[in-house]
Amino acid sequence: MDGRDLLAQVQAAIGAHGAWKLKLSTAVSTGRSDDEPASVCRDDLCRFGAWLHGPDIAPSIRQGKPYQVVRRLHAEFHQCAGEVLDRVKRGDQAGASALLAGDYTDRSATLIRALTKWKSELQAVSEPV
């Protein structure tokens, strides 16, 4: 995988994971969701997670700090999103709303910052001097 492909994956992940807040907000406000908490909490089922866990990333990238940080934060993000949905499914809208406004928002912002930083680093490496 070349730098442009890596950059494209990271950029797509920023948008996709940003969209989760709307999905979860809708679930909290309506009290329902088609997504299952057990699936959402798995960080290897979304497109970005499948790529992160898949064979297309070079070992040198996997050993780097940006990859390792993003992979950990991505897993934490999905775990928290799954917890929000679990509360929705159990009818605990107040708990789901509090988790969404607190821990989920913090984890989401941290993941997006890490992805954005990784993207900037990839762009700096791929730009001609």
Per-residue pLDDT tens over the stretch 91-125:
999 999 999 999 999 999 999 999 999 988 878 87
Per-residue pLDDT tens over the stretch 38-92:
999 999 999 899 999 999 888 988 999 999 999 999 999 999 999 999 999 999 9
Are 125 and 3 a contacting pair, CB within 8 Å? yes
Model pTM greater than 0.85?
Answer: yes
Measure the CA–CA gap between 96 and 45, rounded to whole angstroms. 22
In this structure, the number of other CB atoms found within 10 A of the CB of residue 28 comes to: 25
Nearest to 84 by CA among 109, 102, 71: 102
Measure the CA–CA gap between 79 and 33, rounded to whole angstroms. 16
Give whole-number Cα distances, 107 to 3, 101, 102, 117, in Å: 26, 11, 9, 15
- Tokens matching residue 34: 């088609």
Residues 6 or more apart whose Cβ sits within 8 Å of residue 18: 108, 112
Are 41 and 79 a contacting pair, CB within 8 Å? yes
